[in-house]
Amino acid sequence: MKKKKPIIDLRAGRKKKLIVIDPGHGGHDPGNLGVIKVPEKALTLAIAKVLKKEFEKTGRYQVILTRNIDIYIKLGKQREIAHEKQADLFISLHLDAFKNKNVRGATVYTLSEKASNKQAAALAARENIQDVIPEIEYEWNSKTVQPILVDLMKRETMNFSKGLAKELVVELKKVIKVRKYSHQSAGFVVLKGLDIPSVLIEMAYLSNKKDAKIIIKKKTHKKISTAIVKAVDRFFSNNFVHNG
């Protein structure tokens, strides 16, 4: 008989908060190309590496990247990594593109069942199209789990995610251009089913010349990373996120 894996609370014995950073796209999936010749997948990875360093420098965080080279990770696998490791936070990094080349600025997205507007819904559709696997909402829709419990867990996580998004907007605003509707929500596959506070940051528009020029700079990567660390610091000090 196959032995059941013991359930170990990994968070309980941890001295540092564990953050999973997901550099969007990779491998055969370049993401957006925009007006510069650098694809989204390369920029998200470059920024993720800087962000990892900035987090770890504080001594308060340990970071796992869903990929640290140019490989393709099947959509859905990212959240599996975060779930398996019982991460305290999940951050997915992306860069947007839009047919109106004047649109620029960063947006922080959180998961919701209903998109906050048409554009957010379209973006979620674009980012989700990376793969054709069906959405397996094994946790949220599972009939074996008590619906009320699932609902509460989901709502709590969503509230935490919203709180984090708020802090992120405050800090990102200080270093880069942020869109007017800076925090939006939509049904991102990458964020679905996670019982971990999770956000997806579209850091800039690669379709906008100004944004593209700024986001390609190493100086900007550092600035964005510092801002994210500050926001996360405040998020954890604001919220009593239980460890165990």
Tokens encoding 236 = 């954890």
Cβ atoms 23, 66 nearer than 8 A: yes
Q: Is the CB of 24 or the CB of 76 nearer to Zn ion?
A: 24
Minimum CB separation of residue 127 from Zn ion in Å reads 5
* Residues in contact with Zn ion, shown as a per-residue x/- string from 169 to 208 under the rule CB under 5 A: ----------------------------------------
Closest-approach residue to Zn ion (CB):
94
- Please report whether residue 67 would count as binding Zn ion according to CB under 5 A: no
Residue (18 or 206) nearer to Zn ion, CB: 206
> Is 125 or 152 the residue whose CB approaches Zn ion more closely?
125
Q: Which residue stretch of 27-35, 50-58, 117-125, 162-170 sits at the interface with Zn ion (rule: CB under 5 A)?
A: 27-35
Residues 117-146 that bind Zn ion (CB under 5 A): 127
Using the minimum distance from each CB to Zn ion, give the nearer residue, 54 or 96: 96
Asked if 34 interacts with Zn ion (CB under 5 A), we say no
94 binds Zn ion (CB under 5 A): yes
Least distance in angstroms from the C-beta of 59 to Zn ion? 31
> Is residue 76 involved in binding Zn ion (CB under 5 A)?
no
Q: What whole-number distance in Å separates Cα of residue 158 and Cα of residue 144?
A: 22
Q: 23, 24, 34, 39: which one contacts Zn ion (CB under 5 A)?
A: 24
142: left (phi over 0), alpha (psi -120 to 50) or beta: beta
Which residues, other chains included, contact 26 with Cβ-Cβ below 8 Å and sequence gap of 6+? 41, 45, 67, 70, 71, 72, 73
In the bound complex, what is the minimum distance in angstroms from residue 180's beta carbon to Zn ion? 21
What φ, ψ does residue 86 adopt, rounded to 5°?
50, 55
Query: Should residue 31 be labelled a site residue for Zn ion when binding is judged by CB under 5 A?
Result: yes
- CA distance linking residue 44 with residue 30, whole number of Å: 10
Q: How far is the CB of 75 from Zn ion (least distance, A)?
A: 11
* Contact between residue 93 and residue 24 where contact means Cβ atoms under 8 Å apart: yes
- Which amino acid type is present at position 128? N
* DSSP helix/strand/coil, 114: coil
Q: How many amino acids of this chain bind Zn ion (CB under 5 A)?
A: 4
3-class DSSP state for residue 240? coil
Residues lying near Zn ion in the complex (CB under 5 A): 24, 31, 94, 127
